[in-house]
């Protein structure tokens, strides 16, 4: 019985350790991937990313301090 308990504890610890190490995507990365899937035209300038589809515009600006601003607009 002790052996089964120890195996369960070890498996539980490994599960928690391995699942918490996954890469988390930032909001910017999620938006960029979504716009790429929609076939957006993407322009990268210094500190700015502009993406545009037939019905949506997205701008991501990054300042010198690393702060980001995201603007999303529908073209309607």
In a domain, 30, yes or no: yes
| Domain limits for position 37 | 26-76
In a domain, 44, yes or no: yes
In a domain, 10, yes or no: no
Tell me, what's the pLDDT at 10? Answer: 92
In a domain, 63, yes or no: yes
- Which residue, among 37, 25, 26, 29, has the nearest Cα to 56 in the 3D structure? 37
In a domain, 20, yes or no: no
CA 54 to chain centre: 23
In a domain, 60, yes or no: yes
In a domain, 3, yes or no: no
Q: Domain count of the chain?
A: 1
The predicted-structure confidence for 6-64, as pLDDT tens digits, reads as follows 999 999 888 887 776 667 778 888 888 888 888 888 898 888 999 988 888 999 998 88
């Amino acid at each position: 019985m002790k052996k089964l308990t120890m195996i369960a504890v070890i498996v539980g610890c490994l599960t928690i350790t391995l699942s918490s190490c996954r890469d988390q995507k930032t909001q910017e990365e999620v938006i960029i991937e979504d716009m790429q899937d929609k076939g957006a035209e993407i322009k990268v300038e210094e500190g700015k990313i502009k993406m545009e589809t037939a019905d949506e515009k997205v701008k991501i600006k990054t300042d010198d301090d690393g702060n980001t601003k995201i603007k999303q607009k529908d073209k309607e």
